[in-house]
Structure 1
Amino acid sequence: MTLHIHNVTFDCTDARALGTFWAELLGWNVYYDDDPEVVVAASFPSTSLGLLFIPVPEGKTAKNRQHLDLTPDAGTRDEWVERALALGATVVGDHRTPEGTGWVTLADPEGNEFCIERGAAETGPRHSRAFRITT
């Protein structure tokens, strides 16, 4: 028996505005109806991962306990950082090195943190880490 992740959910103030930011950044689509919730996904109905934005009355008050790590399929890390900034993101931490390694931690317009790492074009093929699963 297995489960899959259907959506990653973000509490937010303005679901349509924040959903639009993420759709523009990821090249996905924004879906909504009369409900205040917004879904951002590559297609709808989505059989893969989506982002769900739900309006809440309170703002973000602390550092995220989790965040998304984004890796370019095409282009460079630095090009995608500039795109995110142009869309309204802000830099939280710049961990790039003079040698070209590293990542940039950003925040979306409502303060949700995410990282942009180097993609395969910059790093070459990655070797996935092996984990031992115990039950």
Structure 2
Amino acid sequence: MTSLVRHITIDCADAYRLAQFWAAVLGGSLAEDDLPGDPEALVTSAGSALLFITVPEKKAAKNRLHLDLQPQDRSRDEEVERLLALGAELVADHRRPDGTGWATLADPEGNEFCVERSAAERADGEVTYRQVV
């Protein structure tokens, strides 16, 4: 037998508040029984489940694990702008003039994540590359 990942669990200062942010990012929803002040909150979305757990200690260092997001219905740059409007912060910009690269952002509690190019942008880049060669 093998195992499967049921949730990705993220320690945080305010589980409900951070879960609301990530539900908006992923177009997901919080569990019906999650309420403000609860010590944990579950976000489910297509293909993923994130469990947020309130812990007493603050984030002290760079994440050892992070999420890489790929926009489904907009460009990477449009998604970065949307996430900044939701409360994310730009940590490092690795986007290149040729359209490749990614942006590293942080959620409202400082957890880093990356936004990559959409599948359409990747496909467009591959076609352009093949045409040039």
Equivalent residues in 2 for 1:54-93, closer than 5 Å: 54-93=53-92
Give the unaligned 5+ runs of structure 2.
Answer: 125-133
Q: Measure how far apart 1:49 and its partner are.
A: 2.8
Q: Aligned partners of 2:22, 2:34: CA distance in 1, in Å?
A: 18
TM-score by length of 2: 0.86
Q: Which runs of 4+ in 1 moved over 6 A?
A: none
Q: Percent identity?
A: 59
Q: Is residue 90–residue 106 contact of structure 2 (8 Å, CA) maintained in 1?
A: yes
Equivalent residues in 2 for 1:39-118, closer than 5 Å: 39-42=42-45, 49-118=48-117
Secondary structure of the residue that 2:99 maps to in structure 1?
coil
1:29-76 per-position Cα deviation (integer Å, ceiling 9, x unaligned): 011446521000027xxxx53100000111100000010000011110
Q: Aligned partners of 2:50, 2:18: CA distance in 1, in Å?
A: 10
Give the unaligned 5+ runs of structure 1.
Answer: 126-135
Secondary structure of the residue that 2:120 maps to in structure 1?
helix
Q: Is residue 102–residue 117 contact of structure 2 (8 Å, CA) maintained in 1?
A: yes
Secondary structure of the residue that 1:9 maps to in structure 2?
strand
Q: Aligned partners of 2:87, 2:73: CA distance in 1, in Å?
A: 21
Q: Which residue of 2 aligns with 1:22?
A: 22
Q: Aligned partners of 1:52, 1:109: CA distance in 2, in Å?
A: 16
Secondary structure of the residue that 2:91 maps to in structure 1?
strand
Backbone CA RMSD of aligned residues: 2.0
Aligned length in residues: 123
Q: Is residue 94–residue 105 contact of structure 1 (8 Å, CA) maintained in 2?
A: yes
Q: Aligned partners of 2:13, 2:122: CA distance in 1, in Å?
A: 37
TM-score by length of 1: 0.85
Segment of structure 1 superposing worse, 110-119 or 25-34: 25-34
